[in-house]
Structure 1
Amino acid sequence: MPLLAIVYFSISGTTEQLAHAIARGATGMAEIALCRIAGDDIVSGRFRNERLLETIDRAGAVAFGSPTYMGGPTAQFKAFADASSDRWSRQRWADKIAGGFTTGACASGDQLHTLTYFSILAAQHGMLWCGLDIPGGEDPAGRNRLGSQLGLATHLIEGALPESDLVTAEYLGRRLARIAGRHS
């Protein structure tokens, strides 16, 4: 069974809700490692959590997650990404399956830029990107509500994540686990 590492930063708990929904979706199909980037992981602006990086080394699939702030991932997530350069130079994460998820304050809050950032990070590492294969706005279950094929993009409605976004996150978890299982 492949290991799915869900690497994320969350401030208000919304991105963490998505991470847990991704984990639920992959349950029974993959081992799950919830890898929350914490403020204590960043010392003098540098990410310093070797154990988290080693978890990704062992994973067959990785889901990257961050809120979208000012048109991109948070500084905390970016510090993690910058610290992955050692792995990049040795291509330690090459051929792993990767996907991404983000949430923003507005429906058109530049979440696509955050997902693009994640996909470029994955490409630099030689990872294989896994987007959503659900046509936006056409799914009977309401999944992929915002219509992003690159990954899961969400926003709050009246202060909460819609259930359809959590169901989409579960779907992304199943998809990552299924593809990682085929790939291993």
Structure 2
Amino acid sequence: MDVRVAVAFHSGYGHTARQAEAVTRGAAGVDGAIATAHDVSAPDAALWSELDSADAIVFGTPTYMGGTSAVFQTFAEATAPIWQERRWQGKLAAGFTNSAGINGNKDTTLSALAVFAAQHGMIWVPLGLAPGGEYSSQGDRDDLNRLGGFTGAMAQSAADLGPDQAPIDSDLRTAEHLGSQVASVAVRFALGRAAVAA
């Protein structure tokens, strides 16, 4: 009994795509989980079918001007028919984002993703990590969750670095952890449903 985790993302310059790859890798590493990544910039019937068949959807977008990208928002608004039919009701959801600034109001983007999921009746899975980085004087930039997010995975990519150099490894490992977290919860949900059915 495999669970399906779909990573639905938009990436403007390739940095968020690297996060998406890490989330997918983390989810795929969980026994009993199959993970696939999907660029939402040009939604078609195949994308909607993949998302409808997923047990969990992890949403990803860069943070532009303190919120989701316009491309991601266009995708979100295109889910209105799905919302009307409640097709994603009860699925698991999670989110990740990247911006050039250390803060960049990434928390606002993650909150928007959580609200989007809630409108669909989805169940939000948080990052599940204590803050690393400069949370304590012993922390450093190589820590998981160095940016101190709780709602989802955050990454930072300096504006003058391409996706071959950013996000840094700890941010990608944080995204990988999010994928693993979501897939692990999805497997437990599936086992619970199977036990109830039996």
Mark yes or no: TM-score above 0.5.
yes
Match of 1:161 in 2: 167
- SS class of match (2:98): strand
TM-superposed CA distance for 1:69, in Å, is 0.6
TM-superposed CA distance for 1:33, in Å, is 1.8
Match of 1:73 in 2: 68
- SS class of match (2:38): strand
- List gaps (5 residues or longer) in structure 2: 191-198
Match of 1:15 in 2: 16
The C-alpha deviation readout for 1:54-113, integer Å capped at 9, x for no partner, is: 211100011100100111111110011001111111110011110000001101101111
Give the letter aligned to residue 180 of structure 1.
Answer: A
Give the letter aligned to residue 83 of structure 1.
Answer: A
Within the candidate set 118, 121, 124, 1:129 is matched to: 124
Q: Aligned residues: percent identity?
A: 38
Question: Does residue 182 of structure 2 align to residue 181 of structure 1?
Answer: no
Q: Distance in 2 between matches of 1:62 and 1:176?
A: 9
Check conservation: 2:15, 2:167, Cα contact below 8 A: yes
Give the letter aligned to residue 162 of structure 1.
Answer: I
- SS class of match (2:96): strand
Match of 1:111 in 2: 106
Q: Distance in 1 between matches of 2:99 and 2:29?
A: 30
The C-alpha deviation readout for 1:158-181, integer Å capped at 9, x for no partner, is: 722111101111111110100011
Question: Does residue 34 of structure 2 align to residue 31 of structure 1?
Answer: yes
TM-score (norm 1): 0.90
Check conservation: 2:25, 2:35, Cα contact below 8 A: no
Farther off after superposition, 158-167 or 4-13: 158-167
Q: Distance in 2 between matches of 1:51 and 1:27?
A: 21
User: Larger radius of gyration, structure 1 or 2?
Assistant: 2
TM-superposed CA distance for 1:28, in Å, is 4.0
Match of 2:196 in 1: none
Match of 1:44 in 2: none
Q: Distance in 2 between matches of 1:28 and 1:149?
A: 22
Query: RMSD across aligned C-alpha pairs, in angstroms?
Result: 1.6
- SS class of match (2:25): helix
- SS class of match (1:143): coil
Q: Distance in 1 between matches of 2:63 and 2:10?
A: 11
TM-superposed CA distance for 1:50, in Å, is 2.4
- List gaps (5 residues or longer) in structure 1: 42-47
Q: Distance in 2 between matches of 1:8 and 1:156?
A: 17
Check conservation: 2:128, 2:181, Cα contact below 8 A: no
Moved runs in structure 1, 4+ residues, more than 3 A?
Answer: 138-141
Give the paired residue count.
176
Q: Distance in 2 between matches of 1:26 and 1:156?
A: 23
The C-alpha deviation readout for 1:135-173, integer Å capped at 9, x for no partner, is: 112689611111110001111247221111011111111
